[in-house]
Structure 1
Amino acid sequence: MGRTVPAVSRALDILELFLGGETLSAPQIAERLGLPRTTVHELVTTLTERSYLIGVPGQPTRYRLGMRLFQLGNVFADQLDLSQEALLVAREVAAACDETVHVAVLDGTDVVYITKVDSTHPVRMVSAVGRRLPAHCTGVGKMLLAGLTPEAFEARFPADRTLSAMTPDSITSPARLWSHLTEIRARGLSYDNCESNESVCCVAAPVYDQTGTMVAAMSVSVPILRWDSARREEWGELVARGAHTLSDRLGHRTDGHRPDALGPAG
């Protein structure tokens, strides 16, 4: 690999200061980065001339992100392929746990599996890309339903409706499902405790796009014979990191309080 260019690194450091959405003056930038004011002035002037920064109307000594970054972001978003990005991350998660990993999206009251990476174990979950299942019976589905507003939930699951069951453990009451989704939102993880398959447990985490919208969910599915409290916690942490990594690849801006992305422990 070639060496990094200090001037380019400093220019990028300046741009990243604006990710919080605030406006900054050149002296503030210099103070936060510990750079000489002359250096900051030259870099800000260059970034402004190239439309990466623009002056704030009525406050010419303060700056905000410019149109060029918006254009680059749109190109990035247009080139994203959720299923392809999901497959790349799902392979990493599956390699780390050697269990089946799925990524699914919500379609009405069902989930559709868009990615699957199999375990190498002889006993594993039988599923397929493109398969549809009732969302309320699955880990990924309940995670996605947890992102709905009360109005959107009620439109899909009227209070007087009895939900279909896939196993004796499936939730069949909309009121009970909504209460369960409240717990999922607070926890940030969703579990399928033999609700879609009497022999399989799952843990799922949310995937967000660049707008902050939950667009998918990722799960680790484990035959009950390999599922226990220790694995429940371990795979929950793993799938949360995997979903975080996939969200990052989709352009989601994190707030610093979500799990570390996949990668070597530091």
Structure 2
Amino acid sequence: MPSKVPAAASTLRILTYLAQRSRPIAASRIASELDIPRSSTYDILAELLDQGFVLHYSDLHAYGLGPSAYELSFGYTRQAPLARLGKRVTERLTDRVGEISHVAVLQGRHVLYVVEARLSKPASYPTDVGVRVPAHLTASGRAILSALPANQLAAVFTGETVLEPHLGAEVGPAFPVARALAD
């Protein structure tokens, strides 16, 4: 379905495209890959530049995200939508099953706990909101990893040869990544 506001749609597509890149990109490539007319691409980039959402790297003849894009993304964090939405769900789940419950998100090879609900009794294991733990060492992390397509799972562990066998391990057998991915 065509957008009722094509300029806004193109602007958001450009920002999303830039956010997915690890380096600045030439305007001609942005236009080509997003199938946006070159003149529109340059006009949109000029406005985004004026508003601080993109930076122009003149030595590279390329564009990357700017400080206003960072501020916008940080605003998302300040509003804590996962915490707001997850709080009720985790509280109901904890009341129903009588155990601690979490909302966690995958960040690279780790899970980050963003919401936690506990009963008044002590938890059977220590966790806290804001804690990052290797994903393969937690039930939450393993659940998230098991839902990933194989190529994305492999990308998460690219370059790893062994995984930590358990939290706080000082010594112990190595845990080969190949075995972890096969399990």
Q: Shorter-chain-normalised TM-score: which range?
A: 0.5 to 0.7
Percent same amino acid among aligned pairs?
15
Once the two structures are superposed, residues 170-202 of structure 1 have per-residue CA deviations (whole angstroms, 9 ceiling, x without a partner) of xxxxx58x75x96895369xxxxxxxxxxxxxx
RMSD over aligned CA atoms reads 4.3
Q: Distance in 2 between matches of 1:152 and 1:114?
A: 22
Deviation at 1:73, TM superposition (A): 1.6
Does 2:52 correspond to 1:51? yes
Q: Do the aligned residues in 2 keep the contact of 1:90 with 1:103 (CA within 8 Å)?
A: yes
Structure 2 counterpart of 1:102: 101
Residues 118-129 of structure 1 correspond to what in structure 2 (within 5 A)?
128=119
Unaligned runs of 5+ in 1: 106-110, 117-127, 160-174, 189-266
Letter in 2 for 1:53: V
Q: Do the aligned residues in 1 keep the contact of 2:86 with 2:103 (CA within 8 Å)?
A: no
Letter in 2 for 1:66: G
Structure 1 counterpart of 2:16: 16
Once the two structures are superposed, residues 201-254 of structure 1 have per-residue CA deviations (whole angstroms, 9 ceiling, x without a partner) of xxxxxxxxxxxxxxxxxxxxxxxxxxxxxxxxxxxxxxxxxxxxxxxxxxxxxx
Q: Do the aligned residues in 2 keep the contact of 1:114 with 1:130 (CA within 8 Å)?
A: no
Structure 2 counterpart of 1:36: 37
Q: Distance in 1 between matches of 2:82 and 2:182?
A: 25
Secondary structure of the structure 1 residue equivalent to 2:138: helix
Secondary structure of the structure 1 residue equivalent to 2:117: strand
Letter in 2 for 1:76: Y
Does 2:90 correspond to 1:80? no
Secondary structure of the structure 1 residue equivalent to 2:75: helix
Q: Which structure features the higher share of strand residues?
A: 1
Q: Distance in 1 between matches of 2:83 and 2:59?
A: 45
Q: Do the aligned residues in 1 keep the contact of 2:25 with 2:64 (CA within 8 Å)?
A: yes
* TM-score, L = length of structure 2: 0.55
Q: Distance in 1 between matches of 2:103 and 2:178?
A: 20
Structure 1 counterpart of 2:66: 66
Deviation at 1:56, TM superposition (A): 1.3
Q: Do the aligned residues in 2 keep the contact of 1:47 with 1:53 (CA within 8 Å)?
A: yes
Q: Do the aligned residues in 1 keep the contact of 2:90 with 2:103 (CA within 8 Å)?
A: no
Secondary structure of the structure 1 residue equivalent to 2:42: helix
Residues 126-141 of structure 1 correspond to what in structure 2 (within 5 A)?
128=119, 131-134=122-125
Q: In 2 relative to 1, CA 83–72 (structure 1 residues): closer, same or farther, beyond 3 Å?
A: closer
Secondary structure of the structure 1 residue equivalent to 2:36: coil
Once the two structures are superposed, residues 138-160 of structure 1 have per-residue CA deviations (whole angstroms, 9 ceiling, x without a partner) of xx9734798xx74993xx3555x
Unaligned runs of 5+ in 2: 105-112, 127-135, 143-162
Once the two structures are superposed, residues 123-142 of structure 1 have per-residue CA deviations (whole angstroms, 9 ceiling, x without a partner) of xxxxx37741136xxxx973
Q: Do the aligned residues in 2 keep the contact of 1:25 with 1:62 (CA within 8 Å)?
A: yes
Q: Do the aligned residues in 1 keep the contact of 2:54 with 2:66 (CA within 8 Å)?
A: yes
Q: Distance in 1 between matches of 2:178 and 2:120?
A: 28
Secondary structure of the structure 2 residue equivalent to 1:133: coil
Higher RCO, Cα 8 Å, sep 6+? 1
Give the count of matched residue pairs.
138
* TM-score, L = length of structure 1: 0.40
Q: Do the aligned residues in 2 keep the contact of 1:54 with 1:63 (CA within 8 Å)?
A: yes
Q: In 2 relative to 1, CA 157–30 (structure 1 residues): closer, same or farther, beyond 3 Å?
A: closer
Q: Do the aligned residues in 2 keep the contact of 1:104 with 1:115 (CA within 8 Å)?
A: no
